[in-house]
Structure 1
Amino acid sequence: MTISIEQAWELAKQRFAAVGVDAEAALRQMDRLPISMHCWQGDDVAGFEQAQGELTGGIQATGNYPGKARNATELRADLDQALALIPGPKRLNLHAIYLESDTPVERNRIEPRHFSNWVEWAKNHQMGLDFNPTCFSHPLSADGFTLTHHDEKIRRFWIEHCQASRRISAYFGEQLGTPSVMNIWIPDGMKDTPVDRLGPRRRLLEALDEVIAEKLNPAHHIDAVESKLFGIGAESYTAGSNEFYLGYATSRQTALCLDAGHFHPTEVISDKISSAMLYVPRLLLHVSRPVRWDSDHVVLLDDETQAIASEIIRHDLFDRVHIGLDFFDASINRIAAWVIGTRNMKKALLRALLEPTDKLRQLELDGDYTARLALLEEQKSLPWQAVWEMYCLRNDVPADAGWLKTVRAYEQQILSQR
């Protein structure tokens, strides 16, 4: 006998109610948790500058799967396909190199008008936009330094680029009615052991202070800074380390970005969330999947993704944590990569919402670690999939791998013609 999604949902509600979880409330909460999808999965981080060169800054997109977007119109069409297969609220995260202009524009001269088509597209989708200055893949970043550069003229260029980016971010927030989170990441560092570790960091501190000096409406714009342990070509020294940016975000009260791939392989960002939240007003999470290094593989529904989601839900951080994705796999269908990764992040959030957290917390306070472990493990076998399928049904998206047929059809009709 085949059980329908509706029948499975009714049974699942009863199973979760038996352990004190309201599955209907979990679905309502899902609608409070947008995931910011990253535009750069669709074109391998190439962007649309007319003079765009090869990727630099320790960034690599590997693979040559056919059909990548060649311009903003194609990228938006590909995003439309992906968005239609993912349930619940979404956002889009843009880099500065995804501007649209008939003539070349220097990065320190970018303006809101260069992103007006993105804003109109976002309005049509009733979704917010986030933003990033692009401090890599540029002649003035060729030696591996931007905001830390010892040459004041080059450093000034990147300061102006970040200042211009903040104004674009604020424009997004004002136009779309939801604050844009603008994240600053720089590749600055050295391949071999430096003599002066302090100088670049002092210059970075001063440059960032100048970047964020202009007061912008927090209802429109949120500043974030992102650390990294190392990068390709900067293995021995990264100016923007975790310690540097944690100190900066704490002292300046900006948001702190934690990227799942930017730490030692034995470190996980899920364990850092609760500590950082004691000191910074907001967190931006870049959920990715490192494989031995910051390789930005497609997000899986694995232990760390689940742990990240659980930290957000268990501590009621809905309004202080912004969830973004950051991977770029050019070895598989790029639209499928978006769908797989984003659906997995949403599944992890739903599973966390279906946990009897209050009961588990009380067991922990009572010192009953046996019951805590038993309940945590039994929880994994409860029918969360039936709740997920109902969420998909209510959002008019495929509840199972049937979405892949849509992607394959689009690949045959559109992507194969590029």
Structure 2
Amino acid sequence: MIYNILIVDDEEGIRMAIKRALEKHRIDFPFLDEPIKLSLYEAESAERALEILSDTHMDIILLDNKLPGMQGIDIMPYLNEHYPDTKILIITSFASLDIALEATKHGAFDFIPKPFTPQELKNAIEIASKQIYLNSIIKDMDKEARKIRFKFLSILSHELKTPITTLEGYIYMIKEKQLGDNIDNYMELIDKMLNKLEEMRTLIMDLLDFTNLQAESTIGEKELLSLKEIIMFSIDSQRPLAIQKSITFDIDIKSPLNIFASKNEMEILFNNLINNAIKYNKNNGKIIIKGEENDNNIIIKIKDTGIGINENDLPHIFDEFYRTVDAKSRRLSGTGLGLSIVKKMIELYNGTIEVESKVNEYTEFTIILPKIEDNKTKNFIDN
């Protein structure tokens, strides 16, 4: 397998340095028969880059913003429209990080600040390549569901290597008593280990939920549930996280909100939404949850007073593996699968989810679920 990479920079020295760093580099993922090779192309201007793109498909573009004639950021709309599957990495100086962030909002996959080391460049290319490969697997899932799903899980489990390596290092520090004999000296390490374990647990659970939903499989048997009880349980289980940020809850749910559904699925759904409302909220913020029902539907609104979602991110927040620019820049942990899982679960129940947001003010999700799925459900409730 070969990935084509286009290097767009008006400085020949930069282009040559990038080529030297990448020309012999190979990228290895689980279940690949052989590593991915990189085929490198170069252009000294945006105009020349567009000429090459018209003849050759590129998987990754390394795009310098400061180009003669046409700036790198100026061609982002064109690249997004005509090459939506190509991953674009903006190369910029530290003084131009604001431009790089703006480019990311307009569809750039990531940015690489100058000066960068060969290893930093390789890491960025590997992350982009991993995303390309995962996207190709997702597209093929319908054709080879079992085989591809197994590959998909195996590749993403590869993501567990970093936290496992970190945990191993901490454990050896404790075993060898590198901080002395006093157990109090190790409390910070233990807290970090617990955080890493939580990241791993979240990743594994998201992957399992996602693959089940890709196959349109129900997670658990359906039963008569009170969504009010599910929501209150989710709040109680995550209240310690809210307390850490001094976040308060304002709950207005007057009826039980009965529904015939899988308890596991409803818990996953509301755990994701409430966890997001905490994670992306501000210190001393508030989470407002309202629930009501009419003859046909249950309507639940979950609103936070947090960082909000940029209007360029809003159309994509339910996409698999999508993470907003603010989430990346603030280094908030996450798999980019949570809201995708939420949307797929709601759609399994013929429901809908909508989002409204204003940056630095609020984000509000509105979930509408049919009260009664079919006649069998109605008879169950009546009896």
Same fold flag (TM > 0.5): no
TM-score interval for Structure 1 and Structure 2 normalised by the shorter chain: under 0.3
Scaled by the length of structure 2, the TM-score of the pair is: 0.26
Quick one: higher RCO (CA 8 Å, sep 6+), 1 or 2? Answer: 1
Scaled by the length of structure 1, the TM-score of the pair is: 0.24
Q: Per residue, is there more strand in 1 or in 2?
A: 2
Q: Which has the larger radius of gyration?
A: 2
